[in-house]
């Protein structure tokens, strides 16, 4: 019970904060106070849109994790090309974030045996995590290679880093201890779902994910996606 209470409080806060912002913006629009101030009005519309998207993302993560945990969601795995997925995501993040972001992409594999949509969500979550827990600017390296049995994808940043103790628990559901420490250092916020969401999706692919990090220097996530036909690697 003691463990559940903080989770409920965190969840309530995670939901109430964006809802309160959306309602505030709605009230301002209804009052007509912004009718003669188009620039300010557009600014508040952008804020409301961002908070709405945040809510949808949070709810979708919770629903997806629940389905995966109860074996009610299967991955539609096919040979997909990571390059267009990553290019689309990098452009999206460059245009939406408020700090300088430099992406360095080096993909040695043409395809990965994965669910197209969920592969994008995995990479998006790792990029978001890198930006959220970074300094004034961030450099993100995304690389891929292939072994005899796996497509190996790596996402590395030069951000705040993660302590050795927190690396052991960072993939746990609703684990906010590690996130909270980093949040206090750079003002970021989170509910402790992002990395568990990633972990659950990778497991649904029969894959593995590992983290390597040094505080104040870097964090690197390494993902192993099993090949569809490991014996045919040389024919790819």
The residue extents of the domains of the chain are: 4-69, 79-235
pLDDT tens profile 93-140: 998 888 999 999 999 999 999 999 999 999 999 999 999 888 888 999
pLDDT band at 234 (very low <50, low <70, confident <90, very high): very low
Neighbouring C-alpha atoms within 13 Å toward the C-beta of 189: 9
Answer yes or no: is pLDDT of 58 > 80: no
SS3 category, 151: strand
Residue 6: per-residue pLDDT: 46
Q: Which tens digits make up the pLDDT trace of 35-47?
A: 888 888 888 788 7
CATH topology of domain 4-69: Helix Hairpins (1.10.287)
Which residue has better confidence, 58 or 145?
A: 145
Is the pLDDT at 152 greater than 70? The verdict is yes
Asked if 4-69 and 79-235 have one fold, the answer is no
Looking at every residue in the chain, the average pLDDT score rounds to 82
Report the percentage of the chain scoring pLDDT > 70.
Answer: 81
What does DSSP assign to residue 63?
H
Give the pLDDT of residue 118: 93
Rounded to an integer, what distance in angstroms lies between the CA atom of residue 190 and that of residue 180?
A: 8
User: Among 44-53, 133-142, 185-194, which stretch is predicted with the lowest mean pLDDT?
Assistant: 185-194
pLDDT number for residue 231: 56
pTM score above 0.75:
no
- Residue 165: how many other CB atoms lie within 10 Å: 11
Q: How remote is the C-alpha of 40 from its chain's centroid?
A: 30
pLDDT higher than threshold 50 for residue 215: yes
Alpha helices in the chain (DSSP H): 4-31, 38-69, 82-96, 116-132, 164-167, 177-186, 194-204
Q: What is the pLDDT of residues 154-172, one digit of tens each?
A: 999 999 999 998 898 898 8
pLDDT category at 230 given cuts 50, 70, 90 is: low
For residue 95, the model assigns a pLDDT of: 87
pLDDT value at 23 more than 60:
yes
What CATH architecture does domain 79-235 belong to? 2-Layer Sandwich (3.30)
């Amino acid at each position: 019970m003691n463990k559940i209470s903080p989770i409920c409080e965190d969840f309530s806060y995670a939901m109430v904060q964006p809802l309160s912002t959306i309602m505030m913006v709605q009230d301002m629009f209804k009052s007509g106070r912004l009718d003669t101030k188009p620039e300010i009005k557009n600014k508040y519309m952008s804020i409301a849109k961002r908070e709405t998207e945040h809510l949808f993302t949070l709810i979708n993560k919770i629903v997806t994790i629940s389905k995966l945990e109860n074996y009610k969601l299967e991955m539609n795995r096919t040979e997909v090309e990571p390059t267009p997925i990553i290019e689309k995501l990098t452009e999206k993040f460059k245009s939406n974030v408020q700090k300088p972001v430099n992406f360095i992409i080096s993909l040695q594999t043409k395809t990965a045996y994965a669910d197209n949509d969920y592969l994008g969500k995995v990479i998006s979550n790792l990029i978001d995590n890198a930006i959220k827990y970074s300094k004034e600017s961030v450099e993100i390296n995304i690389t891929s290679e292939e072994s005899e049995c796996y497509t190996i994808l790596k996402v590395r940043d030069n951000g705040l880093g993660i302590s050795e103790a927190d690396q052991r628990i960072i993939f746990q559901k609703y684990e906010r201890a590690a996130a909270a420490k980093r949040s206090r250092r750079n003002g970021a916020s989170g509910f402790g779902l992002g990395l568990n969401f990633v972990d659950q999706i990778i497991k649904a692919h029969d894959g593995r994910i590992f983290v390597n990090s040094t505080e104040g220097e870097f964090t690197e996530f390494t993902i192993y996606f099993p090949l569809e036909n490991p014996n045919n690697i040389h024919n790819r």
